[in-house]
Amino acid sequence: MRIALALVVLPAVSWADSPLTSIVFHDAYKDVPVIATGSRESRLAFLARQDAPNDQKLAVMTALGWENGANAEAFVEALQRQRPGDVSASDRFVAGYLLAMDDYLALKKRGLERKTAQQLLDAAAAALPDDFAVQYARALVQAQAAMDKSWCDVFRIPEAVKKRFPPAKRNLRAAALEAADGYLRGYSEECKGSEAATQKAKLELNQIYSVSKLGRQVVTGTQGGVVVWEPEATRCSPRRGAPASGEPDCGSPPAPVAKRDGFICNGLTHSGAVWVGCEAEVLRWDGRSFKSYLKRTQGKSSATYYQPMRGKGSALWVRLGSRLWFYDASTDRFQQLAPPWNGDAYDALVRANGEVWSIDFLDALVVDGKTIARKSAQYPGSDPRRFREDAQGVLWVEDFESGLFRYDDATKTFSKVSGLDAKASGIARDEARGRFVLLHYTDGLVLKPDQGPVTTFKLPELEFMRDLLLDENGDVWVAGWTGLMRLRPDGASFGKQLFVAQ
């Protein structure tokens, strides 16, 4: 399955979300008339003034914005009208920053004096070494240039300028600098060893996509890797104040028995092991250790992730974009084969009866090469995301906009399941209690008994929920965005136990 439902799981950074397009200083300078009420022409004239402070010029430049795409050229024209042949370091600062905003995607255009934005800002910074606004603006352009190389540098370069200038030496209002810091701090997570990176890694190990069971172990595929739990184990530590030889305190919640770093991981149980596909590799957990397969070197911008699935004849298949492999147990290797669907399927399933199903995202369902249109009599849903087939061989489709649908093999049509009208993200059959357990992406459980009313069990503490598992004891495991929740039936309700990897 494709693991994203509504949230974008890649880091939320793109060229449209970058230092030069996202950081604005003018909100802290609204008392300056040319910012509060000035026209484009008056702002350009202000930028050409020799007596205007550079911090106000920086604020005016962000007020002009980056969308116009021609502010640098217009500034040069205004400068030539007001002071022909007279170019100061402050002018180069303005011309460089405006040119950088105009050309933020490439930073290659030439403007004043036939120089690029970075060349102009280098010259201005050399001439004005004690001007914090100039130095910081130059650092932001350098950070912009680092966007496709090192996200850590996007944070590190401007931060280094701040460290060089104590607050009393900064000619930029504190509120303006805080606005920049608020944006740039998000990139500090990419600096290895930083406090933000450590906290991010912890959070991502608890942002769960899949839950699998292997004996007494529960294995989660997460945003930050793979976590293995033994729920009945306890973590023992010496009692507080007791001598070293004293009895341990085993009342603490269990800790993971194993972890493996990764990026966007999703797994399933197959042939006595849990197989997990991540961005850079396929992993097999056999209950004791991990083994890696199909390792690749692409970074987090690759936007494709290994996705294990059951293949024909109960074989293990792994998808990656439009490619497909099967696992050959005799050689302990994966062999490539031609996919039985076209292109990069959003999700794919081989049913126990041999039918091959796939999803063309926001287009159609496909079964054995035949298309089933969305919003049709055959499939009334509008946004199918994931297939599931239960132990009885019933096919289900989780639809983000329309809820849950059940397939009728006799009529070849899908019918909507009442009780879950949108954001379906899981289903399990609890035979012992005569009910279906459904999962809503943001609300929690929907309990649909064979007889009686539908009830709900809210789980707001998990924020987003992408998978559930019903174990042999009747416990329900829910993959949340803040941890793994174990729900033990307790009459008409559940007892909760939250597992959080540290």
Q: Return d(Cα 144, Cα 489) in angstroms, integer.
A: 53
Q: Return d(Cα 402, Cα 81) in angstroms, integer.
A: 61
Could you give the C-alpha distances from 15 to 20, 62, 312, 369, in angstroms and in order? 10, 17, 42, 38
Encode 260-299 in three state secondary structure. Answer: EECCCCEEEEECCEEEEECCCCEEEECCCCEEEECCCCCC
Bridge partners of 211, per DSSP, are 220
Look at residue 91 and tell me if it is in a domain.
yes
CB-based contacts of 45: which residues, under 8 Å, 6+ apart? Answer: 78, 82
Bridge partners of 268, per DSSP, are 275
Q: What is the DSSP string of 185-202?
A: GGGGGGSTTSHHHHHHHH
Q: Are 294 and 285 in contact (CB under 8 A)?
A: no
263: phi then psi, degrees, rounded to nearest 5: -140, 120
Look at residue 132 and tell me if it is in a domain.
yes
Q: Return d(Cα 242, Cα 71) in angstroms, integer.
A: 71
Look at residue 183 and tell me if it is in a domain.
yes
- At residue 500, the pLDDT reads 96
Look at residue 11 and tell me if it is in a domain.
no
In terms of C-beta density within 10 A (0-12 exposed, 13-18 middle, 19 or more buried), how is residue 249 classed? middle
- At residue 298, the pLDDT reads 60
* Four-residue CA torsion sign, 367, 373, 379, 383: positive
Q: Return d(Cα 221, Cα 156) in angstroms, integer.
A: 31
**Geometric angle at alpha carbon 198, from 194 and 200, rounded to 5°:** 115
Tokens linked to 227:
């976590």
Only one residue has tokens 């059951």, namely: 310
Look at residue 3 and tell me if it is in a domain.
no
* Four-residue CA torsion sign, 298, 302, 303, 309: negative
Q: Is the pTM of this model over 0.75?
A: no
Q: Return d(Cα 174, Cα 166) in angstroms, integer.
A: 12
- At residue 302, the pLDDT reads 58
Closest by alpha carbon to 272, among 219, 233, 214, 222? Answer: 214
Q: Return d(Cα 90, Cα 47) in angstroms, integer.
A: 9
Tokens linked to 442:
């943001």
Q: Return d(Cα 113, Cα 85) in angstroms, integer.
A: 11
Bridge partners of 468, per DSSP, are 478
Look at residue 285 and tell me if it is in a domain.
no
Tokens linked to 271:
């042939």
Could you give the C-alpha distances from 288 to 122, 228, 274, 292, in angstroms and in order? 56, 10, 11, 14
* Four-residue CA torsion sign, 489, 493, 497, 499: positive
HSE (CB half, 13 Å, CA atoms) of 232? 5
Closest by alpha carbon to 210, among 466, 36, 401? Answer: 466
What letters, b where the CB count within 10 A reaches 16 and e where it falls short, cover 303-318?
Answer: eebbbbbbbeeebbbb
Amino acid at the residue 397: V
Only one residue has tokens 């484009």, namely: 40
391: left (phi over 0), alpha (psi -120 to 50) or beta: alpha
Q: Return d(Cα 79, Cα 73) in angstroms, integer.
A: 10
Q: Return d(Cα 72, Cα 16) in angstroms, integer.
A: 19
Q: Return d(Cα 392, Cα 394) in angstroms, integer.
A: 6
Look at residue 246 and tell me if it is in a domain.
no
22: phi then psi, degrees, rounded to nearest 5: -110, -25
Closest by alpha carbon to 95, among 63, 35, 47, 49? Answer: 47
Q: Return d(Cα 109, Cα 107) in angstroms, integer.
A: 6
Report the chain's terminal Cα–Cα distance, integer Å. Answer: 27
Q: What is the DSSP string of 313-327?
A: GG-EEEEETTEEEEE
- At residue 14, the pLDDT reads 39
* Distance of alpha carbon 211 from the chain centroid: 18
Count: domains in the chain: 1
Look at residue 178 and tell me if it is in a domain.
yes
Q: Return d(Cα 42, Cα 82) in angstroms, integer.
A: 12
Per-residue pLDDT of the chain (502 residues; tens, 9 = 90+): 444 443 333 333 433 478 999 999 999 999 999 999 999 999 999 999 999 999 999 999 999 999 988 999 999 999 999 999 899 999 999 999 999 999 999 999 999 999 999 999 999 999 999 999 999 999 999 999 999 899 999 999 999 999 999 999 999 999 999 999 999 999 998 898 888 888 989 999 999 999 999 999 999 999 999 999 999 875 444 434 444 444 444 445 689 999 999 999 999 999 999 999 999 999 999 999 999 999 998 655 457 899 999 999 999 999 999 999 999 999 999 999 999 999 999 999 999 999 999 999 999 999 999 999 999 999 999 999 999 999 999 999 999 999 999 999 999 999 999 999 999 999 999 999 999 999 999 999 999 999 999 999 999 999 999 999 999 999 999 999 999 999 999 988 999 999 999 8
Find the domain containing 164 and state its range: 19-197
Closest by alpha carbon to 207, among 396, 496, 463, 471? Answer: 463
Closest by alpha carbon to 348, among 374, 391, 385, 390? Answer: 385
